[in-house]
Amino acid sequence: MGQLFAVEVIYRGVFQKTLAKNITRGIVLAAHNEGKLGISFGRYSDAPERNGIPAKSFAIVANDEETLEAGMAQYEPKQVDVTVVLDDTLCKGAESWAWSGLQPVHRALKPGHTLIVISLDDAPALLKNIHRRKEPYKLGIVRGVTSFSGMWVYKDDHTDVRILGAIAKALPAVMSLESVEKFINEKLKNSLKVTTARNAFERFTTIGVKAGEGNPEEVVKVGLPRWEDMRCGVSIKGQGQGGPFADPVTGEVGGFRPVRNELFTKYSARTQRPVVNFATCTKCTLCWLNCPDGAFDITTAGTYDTNFEACSGCGICEEICPVKNCITMVNEDEFHDNNSQWAAFEKDKGAYLKWLEATIKKADPIKNRSHGFRYRGQYQEQVPEAMEIANKG
Amino acid sequence: MSTFVDEKPTQNLEPFKGVKKVPHEEYYTSGHRTCQGCESAQIMKLMAKAAGPRTIVLGSTGCMYVANTSYYATPWGVPWMHTQLGSSGSSALGAAAAFRVQMRKGVMKDEPINVIAFCGDGGGADMGLGAISATMCHPDYNLLILMYDNESYANTDIQISGASPYGVNTSFSTPGKVKRIMNHRWKKNMAPLMMVGHPTVKYVGTISTSYPLQAMNNVRKALSIGGPTFIHCLNPCPKGWDFDPVLSFELGELAVNTGIWPLYEIENGKLSLYGKTKDIANHKFKRLPVRDYLLKQGRFAHFIEEDIEFFQSKIDEMWDKWLVPGIIPLQREIEAE
């Protein structure tokens, strides 16, 4: 038996589906230039994956046909040589299957191997979110803006070839830089992309992450229901009705807190979250009424407190809130828990408002954000800036 | 004179008088794995809230089946059952008939229970059209069929449906170099089809999730009026339409303000336009150019000027030439010439 290599790419559903596919396809075709065989495929889920959800795409490469067949006999690689994370907010964890439970991003990574993350953050900031593990591994950061684009229009900001360059450095056994360059020249026919890939290769470095280093949080484990857990007629129990909201500080009862499905939370889809200024809230109901995820609890004071187990971070609340800066979407990186903002506000209003002011300063202005297509020409405007960051390295 | 129609009473659901009066209870809560900014989930939430606790919901295959029921991912707080892709009509009729029998036999308490079947545009405008049509011909049964329309088979890979707009990019209509416009069909006009084709239906209407209070009140009216009723809801879909989920709400408004999505209800044969649509018809509000709506979506990114102009001309025709502007696509003989 020859050698078998596996690379997994973790990405944000339909926003990065084309990008992930381009990367895994590129690995296989570059390795093919060295006489290796390979296949790229996505994990089965909704087709296409719902936007924002953590999804996986794989490339497996082998020296010979027999080894490749042996590798393909597995449903998906259980152990991978390189894990690529295309959005750094995914470092908080990705779901195993159809959004059930939460897994560390390096779950399948072989000990001592490389985790590649696209980010503008440094390693200590990322390790606040990446869960600790028993075995050491290497962390390599490809400095760049997360590349999001939708189903029909692709944002070609060279992220694909930058990742290919980084993989060639991290795992030369699967493909050399020359093979990557040959693939780009022959298949993508873009000499600029060859330079980008070479730059990424030269700049890519890793740091060692020691055993036990990282986010100490225990990951959420949710078992899937078995047939014997179902009731007559293969039915399951519906959600009950909620009740009054009990204030976390005063103990006062009022407002309303709907029942939340405990077996199914949605937060790992989130790339940004609302930060609410309860002091300026006019209780107009719009955020609550228009939230597709029903993520708001109604507090005793009649304000709306986001439940961060339910919020998927779409940003509609910010868009429709009539009060300036009352709701601001802030990158998910800035947060390390899912605690209630109302509780923090009630506990110490001054401290909360101070925190709020500092936090919303970190938010990107809406015009700079890119979680998909907003207007024609937007990607063309964004690519030069993304390329500049990439070229600075 | 007897009509021989065996009518049963409905729940009398008064309209919610303002957003502050909307009840807090949720019968479609969190715990669904829909996309960020999913307006189809939003209409499910509003529909369940409007209908209240004494309701059963039947859902034909589509996003709102798959994303709401895989494993333990269920948000439903009222009884919900899956039905086949094309059978929202038959399942609603069957459920209403079964309730009637159970109540007559004393198996269950005799009380009005809301029966709602929802379908997507694929399940309603394409596959389920025949069954829905048959159901609309049974005036004895109280039920509502709500079609949530994201203008494609968005659950399976964004394929064209009968409700997809002209020229749109889908998996089945990818623009090519030789032929740019691969979907040259015009969107099916479902609500008027239901009304004109089934004269005894007491309520048919269109709603938009960007006007949540009105949407809920129209659902309440449809459930209270009796007999089979039909509501068509347009739901912007970030995944299939290719836009940043933050735009979900705005695109719903733009669809109305450009005149592409008229809002109206037909109650006992009487048509009334509402919201911005009414202002457009009364010339109090000038329709926004369709360009404002089209260029915010990746699915229309391949449109050239000519395509935008054609789309605009069709919308203009709909408002300037149609016998009932925005609704009934007939022209008077003298005008058609």
Which residues in chain A have Cβ-Cβ distances shorter than 8 Å to B73? 98-99, 261, 263-264
Which residues in chain B have Cβ-Cβ distances shorter than 8 Å to A265? 31
- Judged against a pLDDT cut of 80, whether residue A367 lies above it is answered with no
- The whole-angstrom separation of Cα B302 and Cα B178 is 13
- CB-CB contact of A4 with A69 (8 Å): no
Encoded tokens for B48: 């369940």
B308 touches chain A (CB under 8 A): no
B183 touches chain A (CB under 8 A): no
Note the pLDDT tens digit of each residue in B197-212: 999 999 999 999 999 9
Closest CA to B121 of B22, B39, B226: B39
Q: Tell me if residue B149 falls in helix, strand or coil.
A: strand
Residue B318 covered by a domain = no
Same domain, yes or no: A236 and A217:
no
- In this complex, which of A151, A266, A314 lies closest to B242 when CB atoms are compared? A151
Which residues in chain A have Cβ-Cβ distances shorter than 8 Å to B75? 239, 261, 294
Closest CA to B39 of B31, B47, A150: B47
Could you write out the DSSP letters of every residue in A319-345? Answer: HH--STTTEEEEEGGG------HHHHH
Q: What is the pLDDT of residue A96?
A: 58
Residue B320 covered by a domain = no
Residue A12 covered by a domain = yes
Which residues in chain B have Cβ-Cβ distances shorter than 8 Å to A153? 242, 298, 301
**Structural domain count of chain A:** 2
| Boundaries of domain holding B85 | 19-304
Note the pLDDT tens digit of each residue in B216-259: 999 999 999 999 999 999 999 999 999 999 999 999 999 999 99
Which residues in chain A have Cβ-Cβ distances shorter than 8 Å to B42? 290-292
Q: Chains A and B: how many Cβ contacts under 8 Å?
A: 220
Which of B16, B21, B30 to mutate to test binding with chain A, by most A CBs within 10 Å of its CB? B30
Which residues in chain B have Cβ-Cβ distances shorter than 8 Å to A155? none
Which residues in chain B have Cβ-Cβ distances shorter than 8 Å to A225? 71-72
Alpha helix positions (H), B149-246: 190-197, 212-225, 238-241
B37 touches chain A (CB under 8 A): yes
Q: Tell me if residue A215 falls in helix, strand or coil.
A: strand
- The enclosing H or E element of A209 equals strand A206-209
**Structural domain count of chain B:** 1
- Residue A239 has a CB neighbour count (10 Å cut-off) of 21
CATH code where residue A259 lies: 3.30.70
Q: Tell me if residue B323 falls in helix, strand or coil.
A: coil
Window from B2-11, B119-128, B244-253 with minimum mean pLDDT: B2-11
Same domain, yes or no: A237 and A214:
no
Residue B5 covered by a domain = no
Residue A169 covered by a domain = yes
Q: Do A310 and B24 touch (CB under 8 A)?
A: no
Task: Phi first, then psi: give them for residue B123, nearest 5 degrees.
Answer: -70, -30
Residue A378 covered by a domain = no
Same domain, yes or no: A232 and A205:
no
Percent of chain B topping pLDDT 90? 91
Residue B177 covered by a domain = yes
- CB-CB contact of B231 with B205 (8 Å): yes
Q: How far is the alpha carbon of A85 from chain B, nearest alpha carbon, in Å?
A: 20
Task: Phi first, then psi: give them for residue B58, nearest 5 degrees.
Answer: -115, 135
- In this complex, which of B73, B239, B248 lies closest to A316 when CB atoms are compared? B248
Residue A373 covered by a domain = no
Q: Do B25 and A242 touch (CB under 8 A)?
A: yes
Residue B328 covered by a domain = no
CATH code where residue A16 lies: 3.40.920.10
Search chain A and give the residue with CA nearest B49: A289
Residues β-bridged to residue A57: A9, A42
Q: Dihedral (C-alpha) A258, A260, A265, A268: value to the nearest 10 degrees?
A: 20
Same domain, yes or no: A8 and A154:
yes
- CB-CB contact of A10 with A90 (8 Å): yes
CATH code where residue B299 lies: 3.40.50.970
- Judged against a pLDDT cut of 90, whether residue A226 lies above it is answered with no
Task: Phi first, then psi: give them for residue B15, nearest 5 degrees.
Answer: -65, 150
Same domain, yes or no: A30 and A179:
yes
Q: What would the mean pLDDT of B323-331 be, rounded to a whole number?
A: 91
- In this complex, which of B25, B45, B239 lies closest to A241 when CB atoms are compared? B25
Residue B314 covered by a domain = no
Which residues in chain B have Cβ-Cβ distances shorter than 8 Å to A285? 19-20, 22
Same domain, yes or no: A207 and A289:
no
Same domain, yes or no: A194 and A247:
no
Which residues in chain B have Cβ-Cβ distances shorter than 8 Å to A52? 35-36, 245
Same domain, yes or no: A207 and A255:
no
Which of B83, B244, B300 to mutate to test binding with chain A, by most A CBs within 10 Å of its CB? B244
Enter the DSSP assignment of A185. Answer: I
Omega of the bond prior to A48 within 30 degrees of 0, cis?
yes
- The whole-angstrom separation of Cα B255 and Cα A220 is 41
Tell me which of B322 and A247 has the higher pLDDT.
B322
| Boundaries of domain holding A240 | 227-263+272-368
Q: Taking every pair of C-alpha atoms in chain A, what is the biggest distance, in angstroms?
A: 70
Q: Do A372 and B242 touch (CB under 8 A)?
A: yes
Same domain, yes or no: A174 and A238:
no
Percent of chain B topping pLDDT 70? 99
Q: What is the pLDDT of residue A249?
A: 84
Same domain, yes or no: A276 and A212:
no
Q: How far is the alpha carbon of A65 from chain B, nearest alpha carbon, in Å?
A: 32
The helix-helix angle for B129-136 and B190-197 (nearest 10°) equals 40
- Judged against a pLDDT cut of 60, whether residue A99 lies above it is answered with no
Residue A58 covered by a domain = yes
Residue B65 covered by a domain = yes
Residue B7 covered by a domain = no
Note the pLDDT tens digit of each residue in A111-138: 999 999 999 999 999 999 999 999 999 9
Question: 């109090």: which residue's tokens?
Answer: B284
Same domain, yes or no: A17 and A157:
yes
Residues B20, B44, A15, B256, CA torsion sign: negative
Q: What is the pLDDT of residue B334?
A: 64
Search chain B and give the residue with CA nearest A262: B31
Query: Which region, left, alpha or beta, applies to residue B163 given φ > 0 means left and ψ of -120 to 50 means alpha?
Result: alpha
- In this complex, which of A52, A284, A294 lies closest to B30 when CB atoms are compared? A294
- Residue A222 has a CB neighbour count (10 Å cut-off) of 17
Same domain, yes or no: A207 and A314:
no
- In this complex, which of A151, A242, A286 lies closest to B158 when CB atoms are compared? A151
Q: How far is the alpha carbon of A386 from chain B, nearest alpha carbon, in Å?
A: 18
- CB-CB contact of A306 with A296 (8 Å): yes
Q: Do A290 and B249 touch (CB under 8 A)?
A: yes
Closest CA to B123 of B205, B188, B173: B188
In single-letter form, the type of residue at position A300 comes to T
- The whole-angstrom separation of Cα B222 and Cα B158 is 30
Q: Name the band, by pLDDT with cuts 50, 70 and 90, for residue A48.
A: confident
